[in-house]
Amino acid sequence: MMKNKNSVASARFIFVTIFIEALGIGLLIPVFPDIIRRFSTDPSYINQHFGYFISVYALMQFLASPVLGTLSDRFGRRPILLSSLIGAAIDYLLMAFAPTMGWLYLGRIISGMTGAGMTVASSYMADVSDDSNRSANFGLIGAGFGLGFIAGPLIGGLLANYNPQMPFFIAAGFNALNFLFGYFILPESLALENRRKIDLKNMSPFLSLQKILRPSPILLMVLVYFFLFLSGHVHPSVWTLYTQHKFSWSTFDVGLSLSLVGICMAFSQGYLTRILIPKFGEKWSLYFGANIQMISFFLFGLANKGWMMFAILPFSAMSGLAMPSLQALMTKKVAANEQGELQGTLIGLGSITAIIGPLLYTNLFDTFAKIQEPMDFSGAPYFGAALITVLSLYLISRHFKNQN
């Protein structure tokens, strides 16, 4: 274990690394449609490729995360982290200057692979933590991601008003600076005696999924987790397309609204969950949060004025009670020595929804946005997400009925 001073500095480096990763994701969401418009002005082309970009990133993260994690167990955390940072910097520049769609996709593939380095960042944080600071250090990971996603869309939307390429330059610069800091300052966290040989089985992202999807007391809850996560991907998948189409929002308007989404969810996750879940219990907090999510998605789909989207957001934040309650209920049903496997598998399921969701919602949007009469049907992705949440509510009821 490192000395305390080095441990604190290393934890802060990981916080900054997570923050920059989330910042980069947030920077790009408002500007991707403008980047695609460099190659085509056809709305269907833009809508579909927007979904493909998000899915490709998630797919590469899903495939690369266990590979990078295994490599870091063998060769140490530091070289993998630094490779991810410099790879991300190069990738953002590649996307900024991409002359064709093929080069843009190559950039997304690389960014997904480098983004998978966040798995290694979490391992590094575990290495430099002990019982006195473990919770606080892992709290930094959540805080870094939350703050990055709040700042990213706002900065990206503002900069893109001047130059659509500027957010890419900023993201590249942040990653390059963090690489230099890590190269000269960051120590290795994994001692030589703790390294292990590469096991190819550990590089497969599918093995743990096979186990958790077998019949078990928590199977219905696992399916609820999957569908709640899937419905939640409607925001990153179509928020930019939907609000620009229906309300003629600028990239700054999109960025501002997405930052508000991040603020509302941070308030919900960081404050409301600590107050309301202990008061009402996990079961009813899960029901309440899922119902709020369902209603919110219907309201987003029905909104016919831009200000309504901002008005719905604080209400929708209460849906953040659902996921922590669900995870708490599942962990109570799993043995202590299987908790790590459960959490890793849930992350894998979340990654799969991040692959499926953008394809589902952007295609729904593209299909129904073309229909202008007798009314605007472009809210179809939000109606679809609401119906998926209804399915989650049905499975929740089935689970608790089986428990009686």
- The domain ranges of the chain are 1-188, 206-404
CATH number of 1-188: 1.20.1250.20
In sequence order, what are the residues at sequence separation of 6 or more whose Cβ sits closer than 8 angstroms to the Cβ of residue 170?
Answer: 27, 155, 159
Sign of CA dihedral 69, 70, 76, 81: negative
**Gap between the Cα atoms of 176 and 180, Å rounded:** 6
Question: CB of 365 within 8 A of CB of 238?
Answer: yes
Q: Mean pLDDT over all residues of the chain? A: 82
**SS3 call for 123:** helix
210-253 per-position pLDDT tens digit: 666 666 677 888 899 899 999 999 998 999 999 999 999 988 89
Are 19 and 145 a contacting pair, CB within 8 Å?
Answer: yes
- The predicted-structure confidence for 3-19, as pLDDT tens digits, reads as follows 455 567 777 777 888 88
User: What integer pLDDT is reported at residue 2 of this predicted model?
Assistant: 43
The reported pLDDT for the residue numbered 356 is 94
Task: Tell me, yes or no, if the two domains 1-188 and 206-404 fold the same way.
Answer: yes
Domain 206-404 in CATH 3.40.50.720? The answer is no
Determine the Cα–Cα distance for residues 205 and 150; give it in Å rounded to an integer.
29
Using alpha carbons only, give the angle 282, 284, 290 rounded to the nearest 5 degrees: 95
Q: 334 is written with which tokens?
A: 């799993």
Average pLDDT for 153-173: 84
* C-alpha radius of gyration, the chain, whole number: 21
Q: How much of the chain exceeds pLDDT 90, in percent? A: 22
